[in-house]
Amino acid sequence: MSQHTEVAIIGGGVIGLAAAWELAGVGLRVVLFERDRIGGQASGAAAGLLAPASEQLTPPAFFELGRLSLARYPELSAAVREESGIDPELQLSGVLRVAYDEEHVQRLEVLAATGVLGATVLSSVEVRAQEPLLTERIAGGVFFREEGHLASPRLVAALAAAATRRGAVIHEGTPVTSLRWEGERVVGVESAAGTTRAEVVVLAAGAWSGLLGVAPLPVTPVRGQILALAPGQARLQRPVFGPTTYLVPKPDGTIAAGSTEDRAGFCREPTVRGLRTVLSGVEELAPTLAEAVFLRAWAGLRPDTPDHLPLLGFLAPGLIVATGHYRNGILLAPITAACVRCLILGTPPPLDLAPFSPARFSALAEPHRSG
């Protein structure tokens, strides 16, 4: 089978789906290819945090990318809810970052002094007044009022349904095997569905982005393990970041807790060691949760790069790379989609993309073609 489209997207995680939704919304014909099922990898496994300040994103350009993306979420969430009938459960409840010692508290106070995202410094007494479940070891913290979280699987499902409603075509269980080149230009993809010619190809395959033989794309998988708890009558009002663990309360009353970082290739099964690490951190941060019911554990593969920054921009004529979002794919989906739209339409992006250029690793290997 051979077909032609304006944009072919490789990858059906949150980045690829957000791009499909954004591009179909401006009238472009979009075909998306997902090797497995929509949101079946890191996107569907994420805890859904929207917390660029709490996660202490650096350098400044990366933080600004996160801040601008967070600001787009209310509009995106409302739109995909209206178009799909699926609520991503966006909650801008604020996020609390806490510390166990004065040195760490002072670093948080320096961050809070900028006033970023509604930052407010809290004493240890104020922290525990807001969240009584937390340990008495806490020396202080910062509350970022403008941050929040959502339900990642629901966001993924909403974006897929809304993109389809806008006219995008989504192929699940359809791995792309190679890119099609004419000279130095990418002109389409080869997949299990046949040949698809495209004016532009968007590579958004997450941890799998480096497997198409396009260099330099040093994207490697990092496993993150998360678990879900039923806390009974115990409640958190908002997500909490501790020194080693985060806790995210969900609308169904459960708490998501994470997360580990380990390199195990493309193995995504949880391990005893990983879950023990998370559980130890949970008990240290909120001792009462030692009595919570363990519900389940899962893992996702995050796409990492050598400098832990995304790859976002043209790598070759006809080829846009939008991957390497590491721990922040959910947070960065709206701004990434907007930037992809600007790159395709030739309009100025919302911020300077030079720090995220895919060509910054060109010293590692010369670009080459496969297929």
CATH number at 246 reads 3.30.9.10
Amino acid at 265: G
22 and 77 assigned to the same domain: yes
- The CA–CA distances, whole Å, from 50 to 90, 176, 179 equal 9, 30, 33
* Tally of domains within the chain: 3
Domain that holds residue 116: 95-145
- Which own/partner pairs from 325-329 qualify as long-range (CB within 8 Å, at least 24 positions apart)? 325/15, 325/206, 326/222, 326/302, 327/55, 327/224, 327/302, 328/52, 328/55, 328/57, 328/66, 329/13, 329/14, 329/15, 329/42, 329/43, 329/46, 329/206, 329/302, 329/303
Structure tokens at 284: 């240290």
First to last CA, the chain: 17
Burial of 110 (0-12, 13-18, 19+ CB in 10 A): exposed
41 and 55 assigned to the same domain: yes
190 and 314 assigned to the same domain: yes
Amino acid at 202: V
Amino acid at 240: V
Walk along the chain (371 residues) and give the pLDDT tens digit of each residue: 578 999 999 999 999 999 999 999 999 999 999 999 887 777 767 889 999 999 989 999 999 999 999 999 999 999 999 999 999 999 999 999 999 999 999 988 888 888 889 999 999 999 999 999 999 999 999 999 999 999 999 999 999 999 999 999 999 999 999 999 999 999 999 998 899 999 999 999 999 998 887 877 899 999 999 999 999 888 899 999 999 999 999 999 999 999 889 998 888 899 999 999 999 999 999 999 999 999 999 998 999 999 999 999 999 999 999 999 999 999 999 999 999 999 999 999 999 999 999 999 875 544 445 44
Residue 89 lies in a domain: no
Amino acid at 127: V
- Rounded to an integer, what distance in angstroms lies between the CA atom of residue 19 and that of residue 28? 11
pLDDT of residue 164: 98
Structure tokens at 360: 């910054």
pLDDT of residue 363: 55
pLDDT of residue 366: 45
CATH number at 28 reads 3.50.50.60
